[in-house]
Amino acid sequence: MRRILYLLPLIILAGLVVAFALRLGDPDKETLPSQLIDRKVPQFALDPLPGRGRALSSGDLKGQVSLLNIFGSWCRSCVAEHPMLKRIQREYDIPLHGIDWKDDPEAGKAWLARHGDPYDRIGLDPDSRVAIDLGVTGAPETFIVGPDGRIRYKHTGPITPKVWKDTMLPLIRKLRRTS
Amino acid sequence: MRLTAALVVAGALLAAPAAAVQPSEKLDDPGLEQRAQEVGEKLRCVVCQNQAIANSNADLAADMRKIVRERIKAGATNEEVIQYMQSRYGDYVLLNPPVKPKTYALWGGPAVLALIALGAVLVYYRQRRTRDAEDAPLSAEEAARADRLLAEDDDAAADDDRRGEAT
Amino acid sequence: MIVEFGHFALVLGFVVALVQGVVPLVGAQRGNAGLMAVAPAASLAQFLAVGTAFAALTYAYVVSDFSVLNVVNNSHTAKPLLYKITGVWGNHEGSLLLWVLILAVFGLALALFGNNLPPALRARALAIQALVAFGFLGFLLFTSNPFARTMPPPVNGQGLNPILQDPGLAFHPPFLYLGYVGFSMAFSFAVAALIEGRVDAAWARWVRPWTLAAWIFLTLGIGLGAWWAYYELGWGGWWFWDPVENASLLPWLAGTALLHSAIVVEKRDALKSWTILLAIITFALSLLGTFLVRSGVLTSVHAFASDPTRGVFILGLLAIVLGVSFALYAWRAPHLKGGGLFRPVSREGSLLLNNALMAAATGTVLLGTLFPLIVEVLGMGKVSVGPPYYNYTFGILMIPLVLAMAVGPMLAWKRGRLGRALARLVPAALAAGVAAGWGILRSDTAGSAVVAAIGMGLAAWLVVGTLVELLERSGFYRHGPATALRRLPGMPRAAWGMTLAHLGLGIAIAGMVGSSLWKVESVQVMAAGDSQTVAGYTFAFHGAREVKGPNYTAVQGSFTVKGPDGATITTLDPSKRSYEVRSMPTTEAAIHTTWVGDLYAVVGDPAKKREGFVTRLYYNPLVPWIWIGSVVMVLGGLVSLSDRRHRVGVPARARTARRQTDGEGA
């Protein structure tokens, strides 16, 4: 018994070292899991990009599986993600909506003009009202919304081909089957 | 996004380290503003590193402050506002972690640690006393006399010590 | 050329450290004096090698050698010379080099001043010291080479983070490292003692001055950091319970406990295995701090940007250094037999109680710091542990500790009389009552009244209790004031040291509690001619103008502050700097300090909607007491360190002869 007491520091150290090692090896350590999984998309109705039309409201995220992408012209990772979004729009038949977050509308328009516009509907969220309602921490983030208007998945950071193929696409297909 | 966000956030943090709440954000009613400030100090800025939204200059923190103030102005209680943020960002947004099974170890830990430490001290004395008793048991009277002598001795010794130091 | 020379010196230091880490250990095991004598010589060589490397990097900074990547990333020609030099440790690689240099300095000090130590103990301690250095030099060379070149060299550097271009923060890391690394001495002595299987009073006497020195540096380092946060972050906060701040507080708490438990080893030959464990834990927590800051495992405002290989390397280093030490402890410590006896109510007893509470407090801060990480690793989501948690838990643990701090020194060694001590402390209890009452009157909410009553009461209890102890010790109660006055100057320095350190803590507690509870803040837009009243003081704003610094431009506001009676107290000129190279602004608060509080002004951006500037005005009551208290604590440490029984070089015989007649504490 006393012996174990003297071993205690070593045991605690071992536990901590394992915890640190697991944490160092975790690529997702900065990602905050969404609180809204399986909950309904919060009610909102956002203004469109000026001149573009096709505004976005929560009602548009119903009836079929859809993607909701948070972006902004100020967001560097969004540029990196953009080709993937264009590919999704081109190759898969799934509505992709965007929220232009904390952006100057003109800057957002110019950014889309330069990099291409894969979005169906776009809403402007200049003061993070909807972003906070969605529990967004940064851009890009992408939600998968089911036909029932419930959020089923959130991806933080640029969608990589791997995430798309291994996680998002199978989920979308499953949601389509079950509805 | 994470890495970039971290950089952007770090930049934002370093960019303007001054206190966050801007005059334009403040509510007119000082009582409500006071409450908004209290709530703001309990909520973590989710894109910052261990900062309350009340002290953060991040854009998102400013927007969160705005929503806190709107809701308080609309008649929400402090708890309701905090609950709203918790429903969006989870326990992560609470600087004061809630007491629930997940955090029992956190909240109970200090008390357990203190009890273990004090318990260890008790065990230490108990073991000592056993050895003490084995060495030389004294009668009550002897012990009292020894106590008296020792006390006198202590004083005398203390005085000697000082004399020694003064020279 | 000089840069390559520095790099070479670093490699040389690495090799020397390995020799110093192995040969003397073998020598001590075999009783071979020749092999043991390698240790001091190698310490000198290692110091020269690492010192040369540090000098070479400093040279590269001073001459702005932009072929060195580290200089490119952290310096600029337009920077003042002071910040070119302090920029050397304003980054991961350079600060790590400083870390290793300090390790070498301590090793050299032990080699130079350790002549009165048993040769085997000295050889072993120096070897352990060198093995730690070996690990960190490897870390530097293999993952964080400060001498890496870049081709082609850019025309100019990227500049130093403006936040680091400040005297407070420039000198905060060296003191912090002197503290962290200073605890390596206690660690090396502890491991050496475990190898020898012997701990005695002499061991404790050798360890205490080194621990005390490290404690003094760490206290200064933490104090400087808090002071910097106070005037630079621009909202009067000075401690945030940030993980990295906690990482510096943890070794401080453990080191404080170690200082106290070593006294019991020295006086009573008891608590040996506990003291050894504390010595290892204190340095372990220093290493943990280094790991947390540099691995990216925790997110914090202060963390260096990190890459994963560094995290893995330093985690491995941590695991090996501490794993071996704790294993050795588990093996050898059960055989350390304590000798001396003492009653629970005695000086030793109070030191033991101090240790129990300090250990619980250290464990609490550690738990809070690592809890988010543990929860996440266990897959239970994310939580935050912020200031409220620490204020409750750590705060509550401090209450019995401070209560006992006034009583403990009043008790005699071996067996004390609680009743007599408490009777003497009646004035302290009265003072505590008055202070608590004042705290309640000063507060305007029930919550802050409770905290104020407890905090101010404890502060007064500790300050007055410590003074009562001083009187008691001087013979005031038994022999009258004349004798007391005659004796006071001759009292042992270590006793004075304890008195000052405890007084300092009492003063600092009052400052911490008062400033957190009673801060008055006012944020508004002001144009020239506007006035704002804060806590009875009227701040009149005279507008702002542009001023130019060596590598920045600043908007400087100007205030005149008048007291409640209308008399002008001071003018305050806060500014907001914008550094050209990194285009980052920093705020420079203007502070006028009085004995009971600070008038604090910050000027922000021009207002958007109307003419004027955003200004933040604060009255921060009792903040100066935090700094005064910290300085008094440091002074106490220094006075105690100057006690001739701690002074290095005093022949061991003289110390042993004096041992029986001592009557003082920390």
At CA C20, angle to CA C17 and CA C26, rounded to 5? 140
CA pair distance C251, C361, nearest whole angstrom: 12
At CA C69, angle to CA C247 and CA C552, rounded to 5? 75
Q: Which of C273, C380, C384 to mutate to test the interface with B (most CBs of B within 10 A)?
A: C384
* HEC-encoded secondary structure of C433-484: HHHHHHHHHHCCCHHHHHHHHHHHHHHHHHHHHHHHHHHHHHCHHHHHHHHH
CB–CB of B5 and A102 under 8 A?
A: no
Count structural domains, chain C.
4
Give the pLDDT confidence score for residue C653 in this predicted structure.
Answer: 41
Q: How many Å lie between the alpha carbon of C124 and the closest alpha carbon of chain B? A: 31
Query: Do residues C39 and C147 share a domain?
Result: yes
CB–CB of C412 and B93 under 8 A?
A: no
Query: Do residues C374 and C503 share a domain?
Result: no
Q: Which residues of B touch C389 (CB under 8 A)?
A: 96-97, 106
Give the CA distances from residue C414 to residues A156, B27, C351, C552, in Å, rounded to whole numbers and listed in that order. 63, 62, 11, 63
Give the pLDDT confidence score for residue C76 in this predicted structure.
Answer: 87
Q: What is the pLDDT tens value at each position of chain B, 167 positions in all? A: 333 333 333 333 333 334 567 777 888 888 898 899 889 989 998 887 778 898 888 888 999 999 999 999 999 999 999 999 999 999 999 999 999 998 999 999 999 999 999 999 998 888 876 665 555 445 566 566 656 666 654 444 444 443 333 33
Query: Do residues C511 and C534 share a domain?
Result: no
Using the structure block, give the residue that is written with the tokens 């927590």.
C285
Q: For residues C355 and C281, is the Cβ–Cβ distance under 8 A?
A: no
Chain C residue closest in CA terms to B30: C522
Q: Is C591 helix (H, G, I), strand (E, B) or coil?
A: strand
Per DSSP, what are the bridge partners of residue B94? B43
Per DSSP, what are the bridge partners of residue C526? C613
Q: Residue A148 corresponds to which tokens in the numbers above?
A: 């029932």
CA pair distance C591, C619, nearest whole angstrom: 10
Q: What average pLDDT does the segment C625-654 reach? A: 78
Q: What is the pLDDT of residues C183-206, one digit of tens each?
A: 999 999 999 999 998 888 888 888
Give the CA distances from residue A13 to residues A25, C132, C192, C258, C323, in Å, rounded to whole numbers and listed in that order. 18, 18, 20, 20, 7
The answer for A 79-108 residues in CB contact with B (under 8 A) is 81, 102
B50 CB near a chain A CB, below 8 Å? no
**Nearest beta carbon to residue A7 from set C319, C330, C376:** C330
Query: Do residues C538 and C615 share a domain?
Result: yes
Query: Do residues C560 and C508 share a domain?
Result: no
Residue C396 C-alpha from the chain's centroid: 22
CB–CB of B63 and A76 under 8 A?
A: no
CB–CB of B121 and C356 under 8 A?
A: yes
Tell me, yes or no, whether C609 lies in a domain: yes
B3 CB near a chain C CB, below 8 Å? no
CA pair distance C277, C299, nearest whole angstrom: 29
CB–CB of C475 and B21 under 8 A?
A: no
The answer for A 25-84 residues in CB contact with C (under 8 A) is 26, 29-30, 32-33
Chain A residue closest in CA terms to B48: A137
Would strands C531-534 and A122-125 be described as parallel, antiparallel, or unpaired? unpaired
Query: Do residues C127 and C151 share a domain?
Result: yes
CA pair distance A161, A125, nearest whole angstrom: 27
Look up residue C409 and give its DSSP letter: G
Is residue A133 within a helix (H) or strand (E), and if so which, with residue range?
helix A129-133
pLDDT band at C400 (very low <50, low <70, confident <90, very high): very high
Q: Give every CB contact of residue B29 below 8 A, 6+ residues apart in sequence.
A: B73
Chain A residue closest in CA terms to C319: A17
State which CATH number among 3.30.70.60, 1.10.10.60, 1.10.8.640, 3.30.565.10 fits the domain covering B2-98: 1.10.8.640
Of the candidates C645, C663, C661, the one whose C-alpha atom is nearest the C-alpha of residue C209 is: C645
Span of B117-121, C124-128, C296-300 with lowest mean pLDDT: C296-300
B131 CB near a chain A CB, below 8 Å? no
Fold classification of A33-178 is Glutaredoxin (3.40.30)
Q: Which residues of A touch B89 (CB under 8 A)?
A: 32, 35, 135, 137
Q: What is the pLDDT of residues C174-183, one digit of tens each?
A: 999 999 999 9
Q: Give every CB contact of residue B158 below 8 A, 6+ residues apart in sequence.
A: C412, C663
Strands (E), A126-163: 141-145, 151-156
Q: For residues C228 and C166, is the Cβ–Cβ distance under 8 A?
A: yes
Using the structure block, give the residue that is written with the tokens 């299987």.
C197
Q: For residues C32 and C119, is the Cβ–Cβ distance under 8 A?
A: no
Query: Do residues C358 and C457 share a domain?
Result: no
C341 CB near a chain B CB, below 8 Å? yes
pLDDT band at C267 (very low <50, low <70, confident <90, very high): confident
Q: What is the pLDDT tens value at each position of chain A, 179 positions in all? A: 667 889 999 999 999 999 998 888 776 666 788 888 999 999 999 999 988 888 999 999 988 999 999 999 998 889 999 999 999 999 998 999 999 999 999 999 999 999 999 999 999 999 899 999 999 988 899 999 999 999 999 998 889 999 999 999 999 999 988 86
Amino acid at C116: N
Q: What is the pLDDT of residues B31-50, one digit of tens each?
A: 898 899 889 989 998 887 77
Query: Do residues C511 and C578 share a domain?
Result: no
User: φ, ψ for residue C554 (rounded to 5)?
Assistant: -140, 150
B24 CB near a chain C CB, below 8 Å? yes
Is residue A25 within a helix (H) or strand (E), and if so which, with residue range?
none
**First-to-last C-alpha distance (Å) of chain A:** 60
Q: Is C374 exposed, middle or buried (0-12, 13-18, 19+ CB in 10 A)?
A: middle
CA pair distance C508, C17, nearest whole angstrom: 41
**Nearest beta carbon to residue A137 from set B4, B47, B87:** B47
Q: For residues A59 and A118, is the Cβ–Cβ distance under 8 A?
A: no
Q: For residues C79 and C94, is the Cβ–Cβ distance under 8 A?
A: no
User: φ, ψ for residue C556 (rounded to 5)?
Assistant: -115, 120
Of the candidates C586, C603, C602, the one whose C-alpha atom is nearest the C-alpha of residue C168 is: C586
CB–CB of B22 and C614 under 8 A?
A: yes
Give the pLDDT confidence score for residue C508 in this predicted structure.
Answer: 96
Query: Do residues C46 and C125 share a domain?
Result: yes
Of the candidates C368, B3, C377, the one whose C-alpha atom is nearest the C-alpha of residue A24 is: C377
* CATH number of the domain encompassing residue C142: 1.20.120
User: φ, ψ for residue B26 (rounded to 5)?
Assistant: -65, 145
CB–CB of A19 and C312 under 8 A?
A: no
pLDDT at C610 over 80: no
Give the pLDDT confidence score for residue C581 in this predicted structure.
Answer: 75
Q: What average pLDDT does the segment C409-426 reach? A: 90
Tell me, yes or no, whether C176 lies in a domain: no
Residue C503 belongs to domain spanning: 425-516+631-666
CA pair distance C233, C226, nearest whole angstrom: 10
In Å, the largest CA–CA distance within chain B is: 80
CB–CB of A23 and C315 under 8 A?
A: no
User: Average pLDDT of chain C?
Assistant: 89
User: φ, ψ for residue C651 (rounded to 5)?
Assistant: -55, 140
Give the CA distances from residue C72 to residues B43, C62, C89, C97, C160, in Å, rounded to whole numbers and listed in that order. 39, 12, 14, 17, 9
How many C-alpha atoms does C517 have within 13 Å on its Cβ side? 26
Q: What is the pLDDT of residues C468-522, one digit of tens each?
A: 999 988 888 888 888 888 888 888 898 999 999 999 999 999 999 999 899 888 8
Q: What is the pLDDT of residues C131-165, one digit of tens each?
A: 999 999 999 999 989 998 888 888 888 887 787 78
Q: For residues A146 and A37, is the Cβ–Cβ distance under 8 A?
A: no
Q: Which residues of B touch C523 (CB under 8 A)?
A: 19, 21-23, 26
Of the candidates C512, C520, C517, the one whose C-alpha atom is nearest the C-alpha of residue C441 is: C517
Give the CA distances from residue C238 to residues A58, B129, C226, in Å, rounded to whole numbers and listed in that order. 44, 47, 5
CA pair distance C31, B12, nearest whole angstrom: 60
Please spell the DSSP secondary structure of C56-99, one letter per residue.
Answer: HHHHHHHTT-TTBHHHHHH--TTS-HHHHHHGGGSSHHHHHHHH
Tell me how many residue pairs between chain A and chain B have CB atoms under 8 A apart. 66
The domain ranges of chain B are 2-98, 102-166
CA pair distance C290, C303, nearest whole angstrom: 10
Give the pLDDT confidence score for residue B164 in this predicted structure.
Answer: 36
Q: What is the pLDDT of residues A21-63, one digit of tens each?
A: 888 877 666 678 888 899 999 999 999 998 888 899 999 998 8
Query: Do residues C312 and C386 share a domain?
Result: yes
Q: What is the pLDDT of residues C309-362, one digit of tens each?
A: 888 899 999 999 999 999 999 999 888 877 778 888 899 999 999 999 999 999
Q: How many Å lie between the alpha carbon of C34 and the closest alpha carbon of chain A? A: 35
B84 CB near a chain A CB, below 8 Å? no
CA pair distance C421, C426, nearest whole angstrom: 9
**Nearest beta carbon to residue A156 from set B1, B8, B85:** B1
Per DSSP, what are the bridge partners of residue C173? none
Query: Do residues C454 and C547 share a domain?
Result: no
